[in-house]
Amino acid sequence: MKLFWIINLLLFQLCWFSAALLPQYAAIIMAGLIAIHFGLSPTRKQDMKVLLLVPIGIAVDKLQLEVGGFESVNQGFPVWLLLLWCIFIISLNHSLKWLTERSLLVASLFGAVGGASSYWAGIQFGSLKAVWSDIWLVLSLMLVWSLLMPIFVICHRQLQLSNPIR
C-alpha cells in the first residue's frame, strides 16, 4: 500500500486531537486508532521494531514533568501521552519517513518548531498545564526537541540498518 503514509498521518492527527481535546477518553480512542494502524499497515514488523524508541520519548517527557516545565492535568504520567509517543514513533516509518532521509539539521529545525508547537498547542487546549512562564517553556521545548528529533532520526537509521526485518 504505497499511500499508507496518508492513513498514518490521519491516524496520528486523530490521536493528537483526541489527546488535546478529549484527554479523559484519549487512551481508549488512541488504543483503537493504533490497533487500526497495525491492522492496515503494510510494515507491521518494522512498526513494532521502531517502537523500541518510545522509551526515549517517555524518559524526556518524564524529565520535563519532574523539572516542572509542564505537568499533567490529572497528575502523574498520562497513558494517552505514552500512546501518543507510540503513534509518533511509528510515523517515522510512514508520514514522517521523509524526515529520516534528511540532514540532522533539518531534523533539528523540524523538532524545534514542530515538537515545541505541538506541546504548546496541547497546553493551550488544556491537556497539559504550563508551570513555567510561556517564554521559558517554549524555549525549553524548542531546545529539547531540537536535540530529540535528530536523536530519533539517528536511532531510526540504526534500527533500519541492524537486522533488517522483511
Contact 108, 147 (CB under 8 A): yes
pLDDT value at residue 9: 98
* 100 closest CA partner among 151, 59, 52, 57: 151
CA distance 12 to 90: 9
Task: List the chain domain ranges.
Answer: 4-161
- Residue numbers in the chain where pLDDT is lower than 70: 1, 163-166
Only one residue has cell 498521518, namely: 9
pLDDT value at residue 152: 98
Tell me the pLDDT tens digit for each residue of 7-27.
999 999 999 999 999 999 999
Strand residues in the chain grouped as ranges (E): 70-72, 128-130
Distances in whole angstroms, Cα of residue 56 to Cα of each of 85, 121, 131: 9, 22, 23
pLDDT value at residue 165: 54
Tell me the pLDDT tens digit for each residue of 129-156.
888 888 999 999 999 999 999 999 999 9
CA distance 99 to 107: 6
What is the model's pTM?
A: 0.92
